[in-house]
Structure 1
Amino acid sequence: MKHDAFFRKHPVFTGKELAGHLSSLGEVRGRTQESLLAYHRKAGRVVLVRRGLYAVIPPGADPGSYPIDPFLVAAKLTPDAVLSHYTALEFHGKAYSVHTHFVYSASRPLGSLNFRAYVFRGARFPQALLRFGKENFGVSAAERSGQELRVTTLERTLVDVLDRPDLSGSWEEIWRSLESVEFFDLDKVVEYALLLGNATTGAKVGFFLDQHRETLMVDDRHLNMLHDMRPRQPHYLNRSKRKSGRLVSEWNLVVPSIVLERAWGEVP
């Protein structure tokens, strides 16, 4: 009973968090933590997500079917995990569709994890951020079910999903999700794109902002800074999937027609 308060406040918890709780009660003897976890797992109160990570099951609920919050799982897979890419769009309520794949960024992400119907995939922080110690640029603290987690801001997320479309669904999902955001701090968007220093990513961000110049109130100065970093030779919008498209010479990007024309919005 004396551990119920911890379980209520930590629907998903790490072994380190449990150890801190036990230490606060003066329970630091030998195998106290292992015994406690074994007892509650046998009683159906706790389920193992992966080594060192657990989820709480309320009394009377079915351990096999009780829903576990995947955002909390993703946020606790590593000590420095940050919800990012399409998962950040979902967390902010801006995703066009619901995914069962959850993405987090970290300095040393784990391998892909399957838990129930979910797949969790880690992405390493961009090299430029690690080089300059800027991993937390555009990262904000948020609360979910009483627990604090970290998530990329909409400004960083805009750049991240264009930088790594392989982590963010189809172009329609990316475009429609970003178009649902009414306001971006464009100074922060450009600052982050420049920090990454990737010419192709800068051009993709510039192309998106150029295409939404009126709705997002984009200034020429924002576009000019991104224009200066565009690649010298034409690059594909998604270099890993080189689909045919049209060259947008302004940004040296080969853009699929469906993106250029936003053809998914057409009514047959």
Structure 2
Amino acid sequence: MKLREFLSQHDVFTVGELDLFLSEKGSGKPSTRKAILTYYRKQGRIIPVRRGLYAVVPFGSLPDSSPVDPYLLTAKITKNAVLAYHTALEFHGKAYSVYTRLHYLTTRRALPVRFRSYEIRGVPVPRSLRAKGKEMFSVVRHKRSGVKLRVTSLERTLVDVLDRPELTGSWEEIWRSLESVEFFDIDQVFEYVLLLENATTAAKVGFFLEQHKETLMIDDVHLKPLRKFCPQRPHYLISKKRRGGRLVKKWNLIVPDEILNQSWGEVL
């Protein structure tokens, strides 16, 4: 059975998708699928990424050098994967830099996957979201090469990268990336902050929004509800760097001078 129709419609595919195609064509036997995959691998038309996941090599390209969309790979690395953190910023076109490490949210245990120069890592969905059944809160769908994939919205991404900055990089990367976003739905940002139930994260989000209230057109009155959820005692913006910095009383947050002055360096 020829797979030209299937391969022409998939840049990246899972064994499950192939099985469905073969079943619709009246040949759903595992032996048939195995023979087809073996044949097309030998022909240089498909590349194994990990068990059960393949990338398609376009006609005229070589397996070792053919381009593979890293976002499609990440989206199909496991069921219900959600592009998140710096990877979401990149997908939305808001990242200051391009990384070869990609992150996705998952409710399953996942080992890192290495493919060429890419490293794809799963990050557990926060417990507070799982407890509330809100794993997909502020997750949007986008079509890419005909495939619907999931990615965190810019509002959720704003909060996520401040909640887990180590998954995004330096604070210069975080600040410059978030500063490229022209608009945030503040109500959605606040709703997500409350779902996370993390006082330090609430303070970090409030601090960032206040620092950029003019460009984002945010009034102090809009930030007032967020202050109720800030820590009752001073917390460090960078938990691993518990020294130096200045206290921003409004948010009970101790912020390093590098961030206050935007004299950038690797401060994580």
CA contact (8 A) 2:112 2:119 kept: yes
Structure 1 residue aligned with 2:121? 121
User: What is the deviation of 1:90?
Assistant: 0.4
1:37-80 per-position Cα deviation (integer Å, ceiling 9, x unaligned): 11111111011101111100012311011111111111111111
TM-score by length of 1: 0.95
CA contact (8 A) 2:46 2:54 kept: yes
Q: Distance in 2 between matches of 1:153 and 1:194?
A: 16
Q: Distance in 1 between matches of 2:184 and 2:51?
A: 39
Q: How many residues align?
A: 265
Change over 3 Å in CA distance of 1:30–1:165 after alignment to 2: closer
Q: Distance in 2 between matches of 1:108 and 1:240?
A: 28
CA RMSD of superposed structures (Å): 1.5
1:147-197 per-position Cα deviation (integer Å, ceiling 9, x unaligned): 111111000000000000011111000000000000111110111011111
Give unmatched runs, 5+ long, in structure 2.
none
CA contact (8 A) 2:138 2:152 kept: yes
Structure 2 residue aligned with 1:95? 95
1:229-240 aligned at under 5 Å gives the runs: 229-240=229-240
Q: Distance in 1 between matches of 2:111 and 2:227?
A: 36
Give unmatched runs, 5+ long, in structure 1.
none
User: What is the deviation of 1:234?
Assistant: 1.8
User: What is the deviation of 1:109?
Assistant: 4.4
Structure 2 residue aligned with 1:253? 253
Structure 2 residue aligned with 1:17? 17
User: What is the deviation of 1:237?
Assistant: 1.4
Change over 3 Å in CA distance of 1:57–1:241 after alignment to 2: farther
Q: Aligned to 1:263, what secondary structure does the other structure show?
A: coil
TM-score by length of 2: 0.95
Matched, 1:191 2:191: yes
Q: Distance in 2 between matches of 1:102 and 1:259?
A: 25
Q: Distance in 2 between matches of 1:33 and 1:187?
A: 49
Structure 2 residue aligned with 1:107? 107
Q: Distance in 1 between matches of 2:219 and 2:108?
A: 37
Q: Distance in 2 between matches of 1:212 and 1:108?
A: 36
User: What is the deviation of 1:221?
Assistant: 4.0
Q: Aligned to 1:31, what secondary structure does the other structure show?
A: helix
Structure 2 residue aligned with 1:166? 166
Identity %: 58
- Structure 1 residues 213-222 or 61-70, which shifts more? 213-222
